[in-house]
A = this chain, B = another copy of it.
Amino acid sequence: MQDNLSTTFAALADPTRRAMLAKLSQGEANVSDLAQPFLKEMSLPAVTKHLKVLEKAGLITKTREAQWRPCKINAEALKDAADWMEQYRVFWEESFDRLDEYLKTVTGNKKKKGKTNVRKK
């Protein structure tokens, strides 16, 4: 994968992995703890792989404790993703009227929707 942000988003693009993060947000857990809700749907090696994806994305840290592998969340990696999203907040939070105003200021005057506007060449 090319860049950090892409790796982070890709890691989040799976409900199993998001559920694992949710669990870890309540504290440390071993691999088998994390696996337990999913063992009807997938095997333990599949779980190991999901954890590896989270680990490579820097979203969790796995340590050693005898034969257990306690994992903890490392949400700093989420910060970059959240920061990236932040720049789009205006698009879903502002009212449509104000968004329209904003677009006019950054684009000059488009928004008429006549056929001559979108034409660039």
Q: Which residues of A contact B (CB under 8 A)?
A: 1-3, 5-10, 12-15, 18, 21-22, 25-28, 30, 32-33, 63-66, 68, 70, 72-73, 75-76, 78-79, 81-82, 84-85, 87-89, 91-92, 103, 106-107, 110, 113, 115, 117-120
A77–chain B nearest beta-carbon distance, Å: 9
Q: When chains A and B are docked, how far (Å) is the Cα of A118 from the Cα of B113?
A: 63
Instruction: Indicate if the CB atoms of B118 and A18 lie closer than 8 Å.
Output: no
How many chain copies?
Answer: 2
Instruction: Indicate if the CB atoms of A117 and B85 lie closer than 8 Å.
Output: no
Instruction: Indicate if the CB atoms of B115 and A65 lie closer than 8 Å.
Output: yes
Instruction: Indicate if the CB atoms of B68 and A119 lie closer than 8 Å.
Output: yes
Given A15-B2, A27-B107, decide whether A21 and B88 contact each other with a Cβ distance below 8 A.
yes
Instruction: Indicate if the CB atoms of A6 and B13 lie closer than 8 Å.
Output: yes
A3–chain B nearest beta-carbon distance, Å: 6
Instruction: Indicate if the CB atoms of A106 and B65 lie closer than 8 Å.
Output: no
Scoring A1, A3, A13, A68 by chain B CB atoms within 10 A of each residue's CB, the highest score goes to A13
A118–chain B nearest beta-carbon distance, Å: 5
